Amino acid sequence: MSILDRFSLKNRIALVTAGSGPLFGSSVTEALAEAGATVITASRSLERNQEFAAQLQELGHDVHAMQVDITDVDSIGRLQQSVISQFGRLDVLVNSALTRSGHTGLLDDLTVENISDVASGDFIGLFEITRKFLQGMVEQGSGSIINIASIYGVVGNDPNLYVDTDMKPAPTYTFVKAGMINFSRTLACHYGKHGIRVNCISPGGYLDNQPESFLKRYTERVPVGRMLENDDLKGAIVFLASDASTYITGENLMVDGGWTCL
């Protein structure tokens, strides 16, 4: 098998949670589809997923839309049943969904309700969707799970970036992303013998209409001199999903323009 063949995802079935989302999800779905996988994009809005899937189908890709609420374990169960019923198996699971409504404000701004919202999706939901699809991966003796973490699961927020802005980096975000990274390592240790690899990708800051003062500080600090954009995740996703990385598990791949090397 040539090295380019190893990157191919032909005949693989992949699921991306929040796979039509503007932050990370859509680029992840596109990358897997472009590499030849059959891709399912799933999030709360079935309509938005259907529209995005149709756009990629027009480009010749095999993309399908399903619905899931990552905060609802019954919804996760229905998604798992639908995927297996329609496709027979799952080869690649990308956990990209985030309970964004709960990540609001600094520690003193948080309420118990905020924290509970975060826990229902980014803790309980992550565990449940992973557990549901792991069962089938164990039976088939193969699988790749990729969790989308963050630089802020590795290092703390730099408060100087947010001076004179309305941006308030939430400690709940750093908490769940750091936990996701070590959760991935634990799964890698326990399920490697079943042919299942579990890795993380930790993106740097995503360009998303931030205030100019924030953008200036961020780009001055990061070695490559810019924030992360859509296409920057594609190579990392395909690499970890494919046979190009068959001896890699338990890793947290930093896609951060060098932010964490300083």
* CB neighbour list of residue 258: distance below 8 Å, 6 or more residues apart: 222, 223, 224
* CB neighbour list of residue 198: distance below 8 Å, 6 or more residues apart: 144, 145, 146, 147, 184, 185, 187, 188, 191, 249, 250
Tally helices (H) and strands (E) across the chain.
9, 7
Following DSSP, what letter does each residue of 241-253 receive, concatenated? HSGGGTT--S-EE
Backbone angles phi, psi at 221, to 5 degrees: -85, -35
Cross-strand partners of 255: 203
Of 173, 206, 218, 247, the active-site residue reads 173
Please name the helix (run of DSSP H) or strand (run of DSSP E) that holds residue 94, with its range, or none.
strand 92-95
Say if CB 73 and CB 125 are below 8 A apart: yes
CA 42 to chain centre: 12
Told to judge if 152 belongs to the known catalytic residues of this protein, a careful annotator would answer: no
Q: Do the strands 92-95 and 196-203 form a parallel or antiparallel pair, or are they unpaired? A: unpaired
Say if CB 50 and CB 32 are below 8 A apart: no
CA atoms within 13 A on the CB side of 8: 8
Catalytic positions, written as ranges: 173
